[in-house]
């Protein structure tokens, strides 16, 4: 009997992926470890290899197909002795799922602890009742616009996935509507009023070009909207003096060892100091090193700092693990590697998932200050502006110093105003006295 090759889950939270490119064709003989295809998620493109051996009998999903659900059959593998006749009448969806493809590299996934499991259920549950609902983005959007409780809709797509036709059927037959009061009701009304058709009718035909969203942009929009709607943001700002830091940076870069071509092995940036200082601040204020969940507060044991990196079509946040215990040179080399692989979409899921907090630096674009949106499950994110010379009062005199404005966004459920102020104070202390980051 043919063996279905299924769309693999490249991360614990992945629901769909884009089948970017097949690396084999029908009739090819494959063995365990052979590369089958490239799968593109919102953050990375990964090569998938065969787990079983056999002959590619039929490719079910074409190159470039987006939103392919995890565990949907993407091809059929013929076993030894089988020919194309075995494919006649074979229903891949009715057969028992078989893991016939795997990411070329995978991070170790441990059995979730009770609290972590509850968090995962809450994140994956649009109904908030612990049951994960699988639905296409279009189905979710139509359900939201019409105030449909998507969790009670029966899915007719692959493996019970809810698709557009299921929501349209629910609109005709009627299903319980989602509770919507106050702000949520207003959001639903606005969403319904500003449908795609309504938006397009506001502009003259031919005055614009419609560029479809790629998977990255859709996921970014969905997650940041969810963050602003569900996370109570609270903002704290402070100015930091950079003169001592810039002096230390110059000395450290001047002392960097050279490679065989005479080039320095590292070049520490102000952002590397910011990453280190944020990690040290979390170490000094451990109560702020936390994530909110309905099951309880997750108190993190390590200080892992995510760093927003702009890439074509969006951004990604690779995580510098244990940044509090790493030297500035190592952080600099880690970030250089992350940025290069991020732009090529070659980061592994474990390299951009998790973390304790995040840093978003727009100073290189001339931005003085801004407020960043929290990236759940983080409880904080630091928005960093550019350094500039400003006149400030020191004692009774006005002097010129290099200043940098930063704004801390906090999830007020986990990090309230006083705790956030302590964290920001510890950060400022590290930035203004960089020697403190060496102890």
DSSP-assigned letters across all residues of 25-83: -TT-EE-TT-EEEEEE-SS-EEEEEESS-EEEEEE-S-TTEEEEETT-EEEEEEPTT--
pLDDT of residue 332: 94
**CATH number for domain 114-220, candidates 3.40.720.10, 4.10.320.10, 3.40.50.300, 3.40.50.2020:** 4.10.320.10
Q: How far apart are CA 63 and CA 41, in angstroms?
A: 14
pLDDT at 193 over 70: no
pTM above 0.85, yes or no: no
Question: Measuring CA to CA, which residue among 274, 244, 290 is closest to residue 411?
Answer: 290
Identify whether the C-beta of residue 434 lies closer than 8 Å to the C-beta of residue 245: yes
pLDDT of residue 222: 85
pLDDT of residue 94: 47
Q: How far apart are CA 51 and CA 31, in angstroms?
A: 8
DSSP-assigned letters across all residues of 97-117: P---EEESS----PPPPHHHH
pLDDT at 13 over 80: no
pLDDT at 203 over 70: yes
Q: What is the pLDDT of residues 124-133, one digit of tens each?
A: 333 444 456 7
Q: What is the pLDDT of residues 307-316, one digit of tens each?
A: 999 888 788 9
Domain 233-438 has CATH 3.40.630.30: no
Give CATH 2.40.50.100 domain extents, the chain: 3-103
Give CATH 4.10.320.10 domain extents, the chain: 114-220
Residue 12 confidence class, pLDDT cut points 50, 70, 90: low
Residue 167's Cβ-side half-sphere holds a number of Cα atoms within 13 Å equal to 23
Residues 336-348, mean pLDDT to the nearest whole number: 89
Residue 154 confidence class, pLDDT cut points 50, 70, 90: confident
Is the torsion defined by CA of 414, 418, 422, 423 positive or negative? positive
pLDDT at 17 over 50: yes
Q: What is the pLDDT of residues 276-286, one digit of tens each?
A: 999 999 999 99
Residues 9-23, mean pLDDT to the nearest whole number: 84
pLDDT of residue 237: 97
Q: How many CB atoms lie within 10 A of CB 138?
A: 12
pLDDT of residue 438: 75
Q: What is the pLDDT of residues 223-274, one digit of tens each?
A: 888 899 999 999 999 999 999 999 999 999 999 999 888 888 889 999 999 9
Residue 205 confidence class, pLDDT cut points 50, 70, 90: confident
Residues 3-25, mean pLDDT to the nearest whole number: 85
Q: How far apart are CA 134 and CA 158, in angstroms?
A: 10
Q: What is the pLDDT of residues 164-192, one digit of tens each?
A: 778 878 877 766 555 444 444 444 444 44
Residues 113-132, mean pLDDT to the nearest whole number: 39
Largest pairwise CA distance in the chain: 92
Q: How far apart are CA 335 and CA 342, in angstroms?
A: 10
pLDDT of residue 178: 55
Give CATH 3.30.559.10 domain extents, the chain: 233-438
Q: What is the pLDDT of residues 42-82, one digit of tens each?
A: 777 888 888 778 899 899 999 999 889 988 989 988 887 77
Identify whether the C-beta of residue 298 lies closer than 8 Å to the C-beta of residue 377: yes
pLDDT of residue 102: 57
Higher pLDDT, 119 or 321: 321
pLDDT of residue 112: 38
pLDDT at 197 over 70: yes
Residue 292 confidence class, pLDDT cut points 50, 70, 90: very high
3-103 has which CATH code? 2.40.50.100
pLDDT of residue 104: 55
Least confident span in 145-149, 311-315, 349-353: 145-149
Work out the mean pLDDT of the chain and round it to a whole number.
82
Percent of the chain exceeding pLDDT 70 equals 82
Residue 366's Cβ-side half-sphere holds a number of Cα atoms within 13 Å equal to 0
Annotated catalytic residues are: 412
pLDDT of residue 103: 60
pLDDT of residue 115: 37
Identify whether the C-beta of residue 359 lies closer than 8 Å to the C-beta of residue 308: yes
Q: How far apart are CA 126 and CA 229, in angstroms?
A: 13
């Amino acid at each position: 009997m043919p063996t279905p090759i299924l769309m693999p889950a490249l991360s614990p939270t992945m629901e769909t992926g884009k089948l970017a490119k097949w690396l084999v064709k029908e009739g090819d003989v494959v063995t365990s470890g052979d590369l089958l295809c490239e799968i593109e998620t919102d953050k990375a493109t990964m090569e998938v290899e065969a787990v079983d051996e056999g002959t590619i009998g039929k490719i079910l999903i074409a190159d470039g197909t987006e939103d392919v659900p995890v565990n949907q059959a993407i091809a059929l593998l013929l076993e030894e002795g089988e020919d194309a006749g075995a494919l006649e009448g074979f229903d891949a969806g009715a057969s028992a799922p078989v893991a016939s493809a795997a990411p070329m590299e995978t991070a170790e996934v441990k059995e979730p602890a009770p609290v972590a499991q509850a968090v995962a259920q809450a994140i994956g549950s649009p109904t908030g009742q612990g049951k994960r609902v699988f639905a296409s983005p279009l189905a979710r959007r139509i359900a939201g616009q019409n105030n449909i409780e998507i969790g009670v809709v029966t899915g007719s797509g692959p493996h019970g996935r809810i698709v557009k036709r299921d929501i349209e059927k629910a609109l005709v037959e009627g299903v319980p509507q989602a509770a919507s009061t106050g702000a949520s009701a207003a959001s639903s009304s606005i969403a319904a009023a500003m449908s795609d058709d309504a938006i397009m009718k506001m502009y003259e035909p031919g005055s614009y070009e419609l560029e479809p969203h790629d998977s990255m942009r859709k996921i970014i929009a969905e997650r940041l909207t969810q963050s602003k709607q569900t996370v109570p943001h609270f903002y704290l700002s402070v100015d930091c003096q950079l003169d001592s830091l810039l002096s230390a940076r110059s000395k450290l870069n001047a002392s960097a060892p050279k490679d065989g071509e005479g080039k320095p092995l590292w070049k520490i940036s102000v952002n590397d100091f910011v990453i280190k200082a944020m990690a040290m601040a979390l170490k000094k204020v451990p109560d702020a090193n936390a994530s909110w969940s309905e099951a309880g507060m997750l108190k993190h044991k390590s200080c892992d700092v995510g760093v927003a990196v702009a890439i074509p079509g969006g951004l990604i946040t690779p995580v510098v693990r244990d940044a509090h215990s790493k030297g500035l040179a190592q952080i600099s080399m880690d970030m250089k590697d992350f940025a290069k692989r991020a732009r090529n979409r070659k980061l592994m899921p474990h390299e951009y998932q998790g973390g304790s907090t995040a840093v978003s630096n727009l100073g290189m674009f001339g931005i003085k200050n801004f407020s960043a949106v929290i990236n759940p499950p983080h409880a904080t994110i630091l928005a960093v502006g550019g350094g500039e010379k400003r006149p400030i009062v020191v004692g009774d005199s006005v002097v010129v110093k290099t200043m940098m404005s930063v704004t801390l966004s906090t999830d007020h459920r986990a990090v309230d105003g006083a705790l956030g102020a302590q964290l920001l104070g510890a950060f400022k202390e590290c930035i203004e006295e960089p020697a403190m980051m060496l102890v």
